[in-house]
Amino acid sequence: MATPIVDVHTHVYPPKYVELLKSRSEVPYIRTFDSDLTARLIILPREDDPSTPSTARGRPIGPEYFDIAKKIAFMDQHGIDISVISQANPWLDFLSASEATDAAVEVNDDINNMCEKYPGRLFAFGTLPVKAGAEACVREIKRLKGLKWMRGVVLGTGGMGQGLDDPKMECVYTTLEEAELPVFLHPHYGLPSEVYGPRAGEYGHVLPLSLGFPIETTIAVTRMIVSGVFDRHLALTLLLAHSGGTLPFLAGRLESCILHDAHLKKLGKLEKRRDIWDILKKNILLDAVVYSGVGVRAAVEASGEDRLLFGTDHPFFPPLEDEDTHQEWLSVATNYAAINKVFEGDKEKGGAVLGGNALRLLKLQAE
């Protein structure tokens, strides 16, 4: 039997979370503007500018964001056998300590129940109550380990508020290692809007999505590397969104900058450290959501073809044409084509990237 195709980067806003966003009037929120009947999802402060026409604010949010039957229809349409769903950004990052713990339980149970409806076709990465602190996160990780369809956690780059090099994250990493659950690291915040210049409004979402997102991820994981997270947590596994942002391309420069840094040397930090190439090959998994053969090759070179995993980023990047035409999504076709081009003539390696690696690394056999 052919290896199944597995999508490891595919999002959902569980119904409980949609309810929560609809009840809010501050970012993030969902609302219908007077001039437009489609509900819109506003997830970033820069999307909330009242001078922006409502049709350009945030993005329209339809059932493909929360109705799991739509996810299955999308999978069937694109030949995807299994999806590992994750809550989309901004997860629970904006909830206060007192709200976050209960919300995590509700949202994670909601997602696990979605998986239960389609046994063996859906698995998930759970969400952590980051603002409730390390102990609450540790408790939720242990609870997730007992939920049938959970295979890891999705984390934003902010961690508990101070980033992923925050010493408070240490016990979270230890718990994840012990539970053998990987972190799916995904961007949300991008870069400060000033970097995009005064004409940014003319360019839609292109700059924040194509550059802000990947650079945010690159900075977050680089901070983990330079702070020694992977020297202390040898068994921690990170699945990096969008093929690691720009990490595969910049890894050499990063390693060189570390080796030439007088401050790190003085602190003795160059003595017992793992180099970036070792971390990339032992702790990092990369998704193949990179839309080109060049990107796929860089990912293979950095982490190995046995650590690269197909993804779609559904329900983001739908065709701009009328969605009712049921056409194949260009964003998905481009990622398939990139993988097929790189692994042309090597069905085994191509099949591993399309699904075999995910089955093995995320332990996706149904129990």
What residues between 196 and 215 interact with ligand URA by CB under 6 A?
209
For residues 154 and 182, the answer to whether their CB atoms sit within 8 Å is no
Picked from Zn ion, ligand URA, none, the partner binding residue 147 (CB below 5 to 8 A depending on kind) is: none
Q: Report the residue number, 254 or 286, with the smaller CB distance to Zn ion.
A: 286
- Distance, CA of 168 to CA of 317 (rounded, Å): 35
- C-beta closer to ligand URA: residue 179 or 207: 207
- Say whether residue 305 binds ligand URA (CB under 6 A): no
Contact (CB, 8 A) for 229 and 166: no
Smallest gap, in angstroms, from Cβ of residue 209 to ligand URA? Answer: 6
- To which H or E segment does residue 359 belong? helix 357-361
Which CB sits closer to ligand URA, 85 or 225? Answer: 85
x/- mask, ligand URA, residues 101-140, rule CB under 6 A, reads: ----------------------------------------
Q: Which is nearer to ligand URA, 233 or 242 (CB)?
A: 242
Is residue 273 at the binding interface for ligand URA, with CB under 6 A as the rule?
A: no
Tell me whether residue 161 is exposed, middle or buried, using C-beta atoms within 10 angstroms of its C-beta: 0 to 12, 13 to 18, 19 or more.
Answer: exposed
What 3-state DSSP class applies to 144?
helix
**Half-sphere CA count of 44, side-chain side, radius 13 A:** 19
Rounded to whole angstroms, the Cα distance separating 272 from 288 reads 32
Task: Name which of 33 and 317 has its Cβ closer to Zn ion.
Answer: 317
Q: If you compute the radius of gyration of the chain from its CA atoms, what whole number of angstroms results? A: 20
Q: 């401050």: which residue's tokens? A: 263
Question: Which region, left, alpha or beta, applies to residue 133 given φ > 0 means left and ψ of -120 to 50 means alpha?
Answer: left
User: In whole angstroms, how far apart are CA 82 and each of 46, 71, 89, 121, 156?
Assistant: 35, 11, 21, 4, 23
For Zn ion, give the closer residue by CB, 187 or 248.
187
**Binding-site member from 298, 313, 336, 361 for Zn ion (CB under 5 A):** 313
Size of the site for ligand URA (CB under 6 A): 7
Residue 89 as a binder of ligand URA (CB under 6 A): the answer is yes
Straight-line distance from the first to the last Cα atom of the chain, in angstroms, rounded to the nearest whole number: 19
Contact flag: residue 88 with ligand URA (CB under 6 A): yes
Q: Which of 11, 71, 131, 233 binds ligand URA (CB under 6 A)?
A: 11
Q: Which does 307 bind (CB under 5 to 8 A by kind): ligand URA, Zn ion, none?
A: none
Could you list the residues that contact Zn ion (CB under 5 A)? 313
Could you list the residues that contact ligand URA (CB under 6 A)? 11, 43, 88-89, 209, 313, 316
